[in-house]
A and B are shown apart, each in its own frame.
Chain A
Amino acid sequence: NAGVMQNPRHLVRRRGQEARLRCSPMKGHSHVYWYRQLPEEGLKFMVYLQKENIIDESGMPKERFSAEFPKEGPSILRIQQVVRGDSAAYFCASSWGTGAYEQYFGPGTRLTVT
C-alpha cells in the first residue's frame, strides 16, 4: 500500500509565477490536509479537504492561495503570483476519517521562489 505521494518534490519558481503542488492520499483515504513549514518555524495547518469539499481553510492566506480535492485525481494546492515569502516546505497528510484517526504525511514539496 503506497503512502501519501507528493509531487514535485522540489519546485523552483520565479516571483510572479504560479506554483501547483499535488498530493495523492493513501489508498482508501478521503481526507486531505495541507501544512506549511517555513524556514526555522514549526508546521502550520493550512487547509482540510474531503472529496469535492473544503472543510476548514482557516490557515490559508486570504489571497493567492487555493486548494481543491476533486472527485477524481489528486488534491492540488495552488499558489498564484508567488513571492519570496512563499518559499517553504509544503506537506500533505491524509487520513481515513475524522476525529480519532491518524494522519499520514507525504515527503513534502520544497518550493523555492527566486
Chain B
Amino acid sequence: KQEVTQIPAALSVPEGENLVLNCSFTDSAIYNLQWFRQDPGKGLTSLLLIQSSQREQTSGRLNASLDKSSGRSTLYIAASQPGDSATYLCAPAEGGSEKLVFGKGTKLTVNP
C-alpha cells in the first residue's frame, strides 16, 4: 500500500527566500507524480507533473525533482512571495490503478 509523507508539515519563511518541500513515498512503481497547491476552502491547483521517466520539471519559479528509485520528490520554490502561501500537496499516481495517493501536505506561510 502506497504511503506518502511530506516534511515539514508547516513552514513559515520571510518573503524572498528560496525553499524546498520534501515528499517521500513507499512504493516506487508509479506512473507519475503531481504537485498541487490548495488554498483554504478551495480546490486543488495542479502545479507540476513529472512522468516516471523524468528527473525534473520546471514551471516559472517552481522546480520539482523525482528520484523514483529512492521514493523521493522535492519541490523547490525560488524567491518566495506572500501569494505562495498555501498548502502544498504531493501525489504519486499508482502504477496500474491511476489513482493519486496524497500526503497530508506542507502548509507554507510566506511573510511580507
Q: A91-B43, A105-B43, A105-B44 are in contact. Are A100 and B100 (CB under 8 A)?
A: no
Task: Report the interface size for chain B: residues with CB under 8 A from the other chain.
Answer: 25
Q: A102-B34, A105-B44 are in contact. Are A44 and B98 (CB under 8 A)?
A: no
| B98–A33 touching, CB < 8 Å | yes
| B46–A104 touching, CB < 8 Å | yes
| A100–B31 touching, CB < 8 Å | yes
Instruction: Provide the bound-state CA to CA distance between A91 and B100, in Å.
Output: 12
Chain A's closest residue to B91 (CB) is A43
Which of B34, B52, B104 is close to A103, meaning CB atoms less than 8 Å apart?
Answer: B34
The answer to whether A69 has its CB under 8 Å from any CB of chain B is: no
Q: Mark B25-42, 1 if CB is under 8 A from A, else 0.
A: 000000110101000011
- Smallest CB–CB gap between B69 and chain A, Å? 18
| B99–A41 touching, CB < 8 Å | no
Instruction: Provide the bound-state CA to CA distance between A102 and B99, in Å.
Output: 11
Task: Report the interface size for chain A: residues with CB under 8 A from the other chain.
Answer: 27
The answer to whether A45 has its CB under 8 Å from any CB of chain B is: yes
The answer to whether A22 has its CB under 8 Å from any CB of chain B is: no
| B102–A43 touching, CB < 8 Å | yes
Which of A41, A45, A100 is close to B51, meaning CB atoms less than 8 Å apart?
Answer: A100
| A42–B97 touching, CB < 8 Å | no
The answer to whether A107 has its CB under 8 Å from any CB of chain B is: yes
Q: A42-B104, A91-B44 are in contact. Are A55 and B98 (CB under 8 A)?
A: yes
Instruction: Please give 16 more A-B residue pairs, beta carbons under 8 A apart, in addition to A105-B36, A105-B46.
Output: A33-B100, A35-B100, A42-B89, A45-B100, A48-B97, A48-B99, A55-B98, A56-B97, A91-B44, A95-B98, A100-B52, A102-B32, A103-B34, A103-B46, A105-B45, A107-B43
